[in-house]
């Protein structure tokens, strides 16, 4: 008996909705476009270029509005719009930071102090201060009214490539080239160092609107997310083997759900920030067009890009997302989202599926047809489901909460909140009294199924994509990805004491994110699946040794605490 199956279709190439050219004919600039922003009113964008100019463009016609904005002709590397939309700040190769009037297109004032190219500029949320970063290794905070340097922060980077204020303006993040510590967080009022973050050399920074997550792009062909409470590394956003050059610019959609990244591999890409997954095929630019910058419109419907071909482009994000659903739709149904998990229900006659469309559905195994109506509670995507040991309840992990469902009624019994990222995995303990959930916020949370209380919160240091109890419920395993050294990411499994949240073991072997976990019934072995296309088995060393599978000499364990041995074989 067959169930509705995914229809294999070839997704067509995505084309920009508009290309911007000077006088509608020649390139938008005579040299690279280095940055791009949307202007107030939603009808215009601004670009800056290594040709020394800033230009304003009409989004409808694709033509330039007015004359070039010039002041000396030095290469312009970055621009940022003031919170009130009346001024633009720019950083240039010659070192000064320039303040421009939007209405006149003229320089209001010029701030000097940097002795190297100014690569990045950012306003605080009130518009009273600007922070700039430079190749001189300094970050400078300027008073917009007086033009004075309020703070001069020596970052100890050889060059500063990215600066930004936290949304509440209490902190400043700087990114650049350091000795392994390539992001530094500073108190925005005192310039006191708050945190050093280890990672790859940083090219760009962004923050979620709530300030809870810092996002960095790097020379390592990837994007990293960081928890701003603990300053722990959460997750790595990649495009697999398709991403072949470093990330030059990033931007977050106004609703906080989509991250856009510009890459020097000729593409821009979109990621779902709630689950860390790619949303669509790459937004491919012309051959050898290195993409420097991305910017969302204030309504999130348009994405603007610019790069090495001297031209700017806009992309219809709404249409792109609709097409993504259409080319991944399920045949013979009206749904446009993937099935994310499936379980068998009591009695052996039914299965249950959950989906990105926000629903749970029950299916008859004999007829292949749906039984009853959809189970729904809001529209948030459902990423994982698990059946209680007594078969009476189902727990579901969604992008907004953990939900407990009643099998007989198909209704939500209760909803548990606490995670600040999408919940990717859920698991019951053996007696059904507890549930563990894993999230892209980097935590695993243990819930009391009766009271709904959060009993334990485990800071995993991972984007916890998989969580599971051991069969005897004494241990909890979490799987995800971690940065071991700058430029080196590993798929990692961490084993925790289920009652104390004490770390028992760190297991390595996978080269990419660990996506799934399962224990052998007797609890003597843990099996893991990964984005590296392999399945690995870890045997409990103190109780059980097995040499039937060949050992990889170079796939050693990391800090095993004498409890696990990797006798794994890539399947």
Query: What is the Rg, in whole angstroms, of the alpha carbon atoms belonging to the chain?
Result: 26
pLDDT of residue 551: 33
* pLDDT at residue 81, rounded to an integer: 98
Lookup: tokens for 88: 């633009």
pLDDT number for residue 308: 84
The residue ranges of the chain whose pLDDT is under 50 are 1-11, 241, 325-336, 542-571
Domain assignment present for 117? no
Report the alpha-carbon distance of residue 454 to residue 315 in Å, rounded: 43
486, part of any domain: yes
Specify whether the CB–CB gap between 392 and 407 falls below 8 A.
yes
Task: Report the sign of the C-alpha dihedral through residues 265, 271, 276, 279, in that order.
Answer: negative
Q: Which domain holds residue 361?
A: 339-563
Locate 533 and state its tokens. Answer: 């296309």
Max CA distance (Å), the chain: 78
Q: How far apart are CA 377 and CA 93, in angstroms?
A: 53
Query: Total domain count for the chain?
Result: 1
pTM: 0.67
Residue whose entry in the numeric block shows the structure tokens 């800056």 = 48
Domain contains 22:
no
Question: Model confidence over 396-410: pLDDT tens digits?
Answer: 999 889 999 999 999
What does the alpha-carbon distance between residue 251 and residue 249 come to, in Å, rounded to a whole number?
Answer: 7
Whether 145 and 102 have beta carbons less than 8 Å apart is answered as no
Count of CA atoms in the C-beta half-sphere (13 A) of 382:
27
Main-chain dihedrals φ then ψ at residue 320, nearest 5 degrees: -60, -45
Q: What is the CATH number of the domain that holds 530?
A: 2.130.10.10
Angle at 464 (CA atoms; ends 458, 466), nearest 5 degrees: 110
Quote the CA–CA distance of 349 and 385 in Å, as a whole number.
18
Residue 142 pLDDT: 98
- 228-232 long-range contacts (CB < 8 A, ≥24 apart) are 228/166, 230/442, 230/459, 231/185, 231/195, 231/197, 232/442, 232/459, 232/461
Residues 6 or more apart from 303 whose CB is under 8 A from it? 251, 260, 268, 270, 283, 294, 295, 296, 297, 314, 315, 317
- Judge whether 410 lies within some domain: yes
Residue 469: CB partners within 8 Å, gap ≥ 6? 427, 428, 429, 430, 436, 475, 476, 477, 498, 519
Spatial strand order of the sheet with 129-134 comes to: 118-123, 129-134, 138-143, 149-154
Whether 369 is covered by a domain: the verdict is: yes
Give the pLDDT score at 553.
Answer: 32
Q: Is residue 390 domain-resident?
A: yes
For residue 334, tell me if it sits in a domain.
no
Report yes or no: 78 and 119 within 8 Å, Cβ to Cβ: yes
Residue 91's nearest CA partner among 80, 77, 71 is 77
What are 216's strand-pairing partners? 205, 224
Query: Six-digit token pair at 492?
Result: 């990692």
Closest CA to 38 of 11, 15, 20: 20
- Pick from 394, 448, 461: nearest CA to 418: 448
- Distance CA(317)–CA(279), nearest Å, equals 11
Tell me if 362 is assigned to some domain. Answer: yes
């Amino acid at each position: 008996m067959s169930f509705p199956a995914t229809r294999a279709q070839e997704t067509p190439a995505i084309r920009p909705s508009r290309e911007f050219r000077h006088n509608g004919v020649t390139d938008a600039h005579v040299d690279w476009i280095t940055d791009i922003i949307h202007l107030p009113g939603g009808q215009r964008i601004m670009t800056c270029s290594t040709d020394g100019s800033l230009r304003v463009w009409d989004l409808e016609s694709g033509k330039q509005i007015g004359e070039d904005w010039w002041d000396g002709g030095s290469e312009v590397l970055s621009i940022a719009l003031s919170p009130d939309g009346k001024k633009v700040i720019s950083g240039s190769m010659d070192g000064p930071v320039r303040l421009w009037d939007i209405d006149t297109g003229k320089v209001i004032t010029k701030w000097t102090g940097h002795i190297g190219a100014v690569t990045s500029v950012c306003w605080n949320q009130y518009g009273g201060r600007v922070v700039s970063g430079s190749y001189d290794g300094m970050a400078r905070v300027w008073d917009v009214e007086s033009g004075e340097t309020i703070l001069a922060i020596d970052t100890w980077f050889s060059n500063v490539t990215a600066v930004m204020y936290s949304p509440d303006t209490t902190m400043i993040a700087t990114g650049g080239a350091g000795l392994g510590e390539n992001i530094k967080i500073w108190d925005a009022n005192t310039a006191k160092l708050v945190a050093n973050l280890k990672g790859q050399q940083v090219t760009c920074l962004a923050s979620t609107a709530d300030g809870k997550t810092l996002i960095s792009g790097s020379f390592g062909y990837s994007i990293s997310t960081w928890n701003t409470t603990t300053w722990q590394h959460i997750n790595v956003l990649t495009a697999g083997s398709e991403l072949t050059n470093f990330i030059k610019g990033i931007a977050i959609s106004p609703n906080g759900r989509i991250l856009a990244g510009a890459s020097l591999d000729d593409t821009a890409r979109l990621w779902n920030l709630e689950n860390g997954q790619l949303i669509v095929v790459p937004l491919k630019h012309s051959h050898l067009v290195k993409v420097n910058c991305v910017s969302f419109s204030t309504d999130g419907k348009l994405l603007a890009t610019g790069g090495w071909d001297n031209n700017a482009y806009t992309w219809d994000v709404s249409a792109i997302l609709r097409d993504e659903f259409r080319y991944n739709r399920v045949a013979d149904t009206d749904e446009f989202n993937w099935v994310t998990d499936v379980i068998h229900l009591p009695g052996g006659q039914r299965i249950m599926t959950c989906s990105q469309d926000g629903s749970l559905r029950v299916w008859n195994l004999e007829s292949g047809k749906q039984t009853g109506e959809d189970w729904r509670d809001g529209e948030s995507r459902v990423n994982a489901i698990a059946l209680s040991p007594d078969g009476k309840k189902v727990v579901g992990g969604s992008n907004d909460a953990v939900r407990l469902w009643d099998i007989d009624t198909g209704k939500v019994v209760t909803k548990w909140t606490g995670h600040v990222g999408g919940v990717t995995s859920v698991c019951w303990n053996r007696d059904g009294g507890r549930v563990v959930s894993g999230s892209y916020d980097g935590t695993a949370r243990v819930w009391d199924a009766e009271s709904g209380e959060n009993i334990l919160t485990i800071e995993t240091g991972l984007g916890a994509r998989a969580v599971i109890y051991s069969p005897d419920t004494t241990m909890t395993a979490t799987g995800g990805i971690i940065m071991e050294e700058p430029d080196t990411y590993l798929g990692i499994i961490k084993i925790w004491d289920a009652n104390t949240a004490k770390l028992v073991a760190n297991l390595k072997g996978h080269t990419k994110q660990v996506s799934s976990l399962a224990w052998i019934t007797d609890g003597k072995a843990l099996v893991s699946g990964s984005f590296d296309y392999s399945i690995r088995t870890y045997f409990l060393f103190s109780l059980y040794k097995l040499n039937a599978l060949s050992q990889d000499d170079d796939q050693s364990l990391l800090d095993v605490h004498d409890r696990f041995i990797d006798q794994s074989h890539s399947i």
